[in-house]
Structure 1
Amino acid sequence: MTHDNLLILAADQRPWLTNALFGHTGVATAEQRAVTTEAKHLIFEGLLKATESDAATGAAILVDPELGPGVPERALAHSIPLALPIERAGQRLYETEPENLREYLKAFAPRYSKVLVRYNPADSDDERALQRERLAEASAISRDEGCEFLFELLVPPTDEQLAQVDGDAERYAWELRPELTRQAMAEIAEQVGVDIWKLEHQGDVDSSRQTVELARSHRAECILLGAGGDTDTVNSWLQIAAQAGFVGFAIGRSIWWEAVQQLAAAPTDSDVRARSLDTIAATYAGFVTAFTRAQ
């Protein structure tokens, strides 16, 4: 599979966003949901502002209609490719949501259906098999409805794996996770049709290239997720990913978190909103430039 650059601004957090913005773990109030919805529209408008430049060719938005009602429709109206999450948020094992996936995809007509999956080759055989079965069905329906299947794969460490690197999460990410990711991808791809892998950084250029080659062996491509990293960190990951053959990224909090916090603190202040919009547009454009220059 060959694919043009895919440069996704991700704003599909549910319910993490309301919890993080307002400091609770319960059900958000109507006022809190309203601010969150406004934030997701602001993020989309930041993307629109960035796409005024040719440098943003390949721009797309990943957003949910639950806390971002109206944003998917605006994306379609502006011909911005839409990626739509189809997983139940916050689950350790993947579950499709909504139950009637086919009608959901028909209603929103996204270009991509996105799943977020936590999957480690050291997990139990039964758990891995159950996830693959559910994902195979979601992929089949998505592709049948004309969507590319976008697979966000997270490989959280087991206690034993973390012990191998003396409990150092950074060492795990560089030394163990890339190979575990490739093992997981190979297992999943035997049963699940994947078009695009959305992945955590894959170590150095050589390791990252191995991941790209594995994806392409089953006609898929790779994009990098931002994982909430700071600008310098994400730029360093983008440079490696671009050199290794990744075709893009899906970055969220690293672009908009501070701007959205400012909006939430003063939701009716037009000056704050304008500054937040400019910040989102500039930060997204900066990541686009970092990635495309490294290519």
Structure 2
Amino acid sequence: MPRGWDRPLYILPFDHRGSFKRGLFGWSGPLDARQTAEIADAKMIIYEGFRAALAAGAPAAKAGILVDEQFGAAILRAAAGHGVTTACPAEKSGQEEFDFEYGEDFASHIAAFDPTFCKVLVRYNPEGDAALNRRQAGRLKRLSDHLAGTGRSRFMFELLVPPEKAQLDRLAGDRKAYDLQLRPHLMVEAIAQLQAAGVEPDLWKIEGLDRAEDCAAVVATARAGGRDTVGCIVLGRGEDDAKVREWLGIAARVPGFVGFAVGRTVFWDPLVDWKAGKATRQQAAERIAARYREFVDLFEEA
């Protein structure tokens, strides 16, 4: 299977685990079977919204979902049965250091669901802890090699570049200045370092960027060295509607950015209202469908 993904792809991601448990339901500690089922049901509402968006005209060939095995196993199976592009995470949720959710059994869990993409979320600052970065890169190369060897699921890499204290100090603690002035260069350097370590994603999932030239630099690095069909998609990072629209509009005009993965901005408020009894299940799903379609239309038009 040739490496890369250069076709349009509009992902609705809801593989969040800790944020559902704590943020939506307010639970801590291990979950019992009832709590697990409640979270799974909430995620099913998101999938119902996704299906409603397709029924209303969102392009099925360009649409996809990202959901976890823990709370979304039934969704992954249903989506595969409908021919939907699927992605499933391999990382432990909420950790600063990447590691496999299922340890040495990671390969069998990928095989059990056979998603279109195996996804990882990785926090990697190239000017950060060198030993940490080496450990992460080693695990990620192992996954990269496994996926390339099986020739089935492709590799989706969600890259987050959190600021180091010294980097923020140079900017007087201004996170917006970090996003604009430092993060774009650091993302390019992180991609190059990971490639040099043998990590070869088909698709990079990238935090939104404020300038088209920074998007182009990310694509150029992702496609360096003959990786001509490797694609990039922009993620929403839980930002508000206006910021997500800005990021999507910028990325959509840059060749190599083939789509987006926007989750919480689409589904969080409808689920909060459903949980509080302010919206019915159908109303929540319809709002999710409408918001997802808005972002699809925005990217297509741009």
Structure 2 residue 51 is the aligned partner of structure 1 residue 43:
no
Out of 144, 149, 155, the position equivalent to 2:155 is 149
Structure 2 residue 171 is the aligned partner of structure 1 residue 170:
no
SS in 2 for 1:197: strand
Structure 2 residue 297 is the aligned partner of structure 1 residue 286:
no
Cross-structure match for 2:185: 179
Distance 2:134 2:73 in 1: 34
Cross-structure match for 1:227: 237
The one-character-per-residue Cα deviations of 1:31-76 (angstroms, maximum 9, x if unpaired) are: 4332211111111111111112444341101001202231110110
Structure 2 residue 197 is the aligned partner of structure 1 residue 194:
no
Out of 6, 12, 19, the position equivalent to 1:16 is 19
**Unmatched runs of 5 consecutive residues or more in structure 2:** none
Distance 1:207 1:277 in 2: 35
Of 45-54 and 144-153, the range deviating more from structure 2: 45-54
Q: Cα gap change, 1:182/1:166 in structure 2, threshold over 3 Å: closer, same or farther?
A: same
1:86–1:114 Cα contact (<8 Å) kept: yes
1:152–1:197 Cα contact (<8 Å) kept: yes
SS in 2 for 1:285: helix
SS in 2 for 1:244: coil
Out of 205, 219, 242, the position equivalent to 2:212 is 205
Out of 98, 106, 110, the position equivalent to 1:105 is 110
**Unmatched runs of 5 consecutive residues or more in structure 1:** none
Measured after TM superposition, the shift of residue 142 of structure 1 is 2.1
Give the total of aligned pairs: 291
The one-character-per-residue Cα deviations of 1:117-140 (angstroms, maximum 9, x if unpaired) are: 000011222111111110000111
1:62–1:82 Cα contact (<8 Å) kept: yes
Measured after TM superposition, the shift of residue 144 of structure 1 is 2.6
Distance 1:83 1:242 in 2: 21
Cross-structure match for 1:252: 263
Out of 128, 135, 156, the position equivalent to 1:130 is 135
Distance 1:124 1:108 in 2: 34
Q: How do 1:270-285 residues align onto structure 2 when only pairs under 5 Å count?
A: 272-285=280-293
1:39–1:263 Cα contact (<8 Å) kept: no
The one-character-per-residue Cα deviations of 1:92-143 (angstroms, maximum 9, x if unpaired) are: 1111122212211221010100000000011222111111110000111123
**Percent identity, aligned pairs only?**
36
Measured after TM superposition, the shift of residue 231 of structure 1 is 1.4
SS in 2 for 1:248: strand
Q: What is the TM-score normalised by the length of structure 2?
A: 0.92
1:105–1:142 Cα contact (<8 Å) kept: no
Amino acid at match of 2:262: I
Measured after TM superposition, the shift of residue 202 of structure 1 is 2.4
Q: Cα gap change, 1:2/1:108 in structure 2, threshold over 3 Å: closer, same or farther?
A: closer
The one-character-per-residue Cα deviations of 1:202-238 (angstroms, maximum 9, x if unpaired) are: 2301111111121122342110111111112101100
Q: What is the TM-score normalised by the length of structure 1?
A: 0.94
Amino acid at match of 1:224: V
Distance 2:117 2:73 in 1: 18
Distance 1:28 1:105 in 2: 23
Distance 2:234 2:29 in 1: 31
Distance 2:57 2:193 in 1: 39
Q: How do 1:237-248 residues align onto structure 2 when only pairs under 5 Å count?
A: 237-245=247-255, 246-248=257-259
Distance 2:9 2:66 in 1: 11
